[in-house]
Amino acid sequence: MTAPVGGNSPRSQKVVMKLGTRTIKGYMEFPPGDTVEALLRDAPQSSPESFWIRDLESGIMQEISTTDIKAVFYVKSFEGDSQHKDLNFHSRAPIVHGIWVRLQFFDDEVLEGIVHNSIHYLVDPGFFLLPTDPESNNKLVYVMKSWLADYRVLGIRKL
């Protein structure tokens, strides 16, 4: 497997990768699909075995196995907003067809978002989640199920 170019390409995205107590900030190539909706609809038929990330501090491209990853957060900025308070209902949430879920990680972090309504998000070791909080720093999250303490379906979103 060859390492994709990161940080220079128009498809390069800012990501924060959480690996237990370690966090890596850097750049990754955006997954296939021109839009988030296309990504959720056309998600790969199997979960990736690894992700390539260009470390923000060192500039070094490294391959990280998905078995080590809690989640990959595609973010608007690396700084985020530590004062942001997540809401549980968002009247301005994106209207994307899918299943609205609430996730709780073993470290008590909680996320809500939309997953594509397919068998893959149930049977694969990981899945893409579109956050429903319009004020969130997260644009998209790839979640590894092995890090989840709780997973609840809140409802169905239809266009």
Tell me if 2 is assigned to some domain. no
Tell me if 70 is assigned to some domain. yes
Tell me if 3 is assigned to some domain. no
pLDDT in tens, 53-112: 999 999 899 999 888 899 999 898 988 666 555 555 555 555 667 888 899 999 999 888
Token output for 154:
């809140």
The torsion angle over the Cα atoms of residues 44, 89, 73 and 12, rounded to 10 degrees, is: 70
* pLDDT at residue number 1: 36
Tally of CB atoms within 10 A around 134: 11
Mean pLDDT of the chain, nearest integer = 78
Could you list the residue range(s) of the whole structural domain that residue 56 is in?
12-79+86-157
CA 8 to chain centre: 21
pTM for the complete prediction?
0.78
Q: How many CA atoms lie within 13 A of 159 on its CB side?
A: 5
Tell me if 103 is assigned to some domain. yes
Over residues 49-55, the mean pLDDT reads: 88
Over residues 122-142, the mean pLDDT reads: 86
* pLDDT at residue number 29: 73
Q: Is the pLDDT of residue 38 over 80?
A: no
* pLDDT at residue number 158: 63
pLDDT above 90 as % of the chain? 26
Tell me if 59 is assigned to some domain. yes
Tell me if 1 is assigned to some domain. no
C-beta pairs of 76-82 under 8 Å, 24+ apart in sequence: 76/14, 76/137, 76/138, 76/139, 77/14, 77/137, 78/14, 78/16, 78/25, 80/16, 80/137, 81/135, 81/137
Tell me if 121 is assigned to some domain. yes
Q: Grade residue 128 by pLDDT with cuts at 50, 70 and 90.
A: confident
Output 109 or 37, whichever has higher pLDDT: 109
pLDDT in tens, 147-159: 999 999 888 766 5
* pLDDT at residue number 3: 43
Domains contained in the chain, number:
1
Tell me if 4 is assigned to some domain. no
Distance CA 7, CA 59 (A): 9
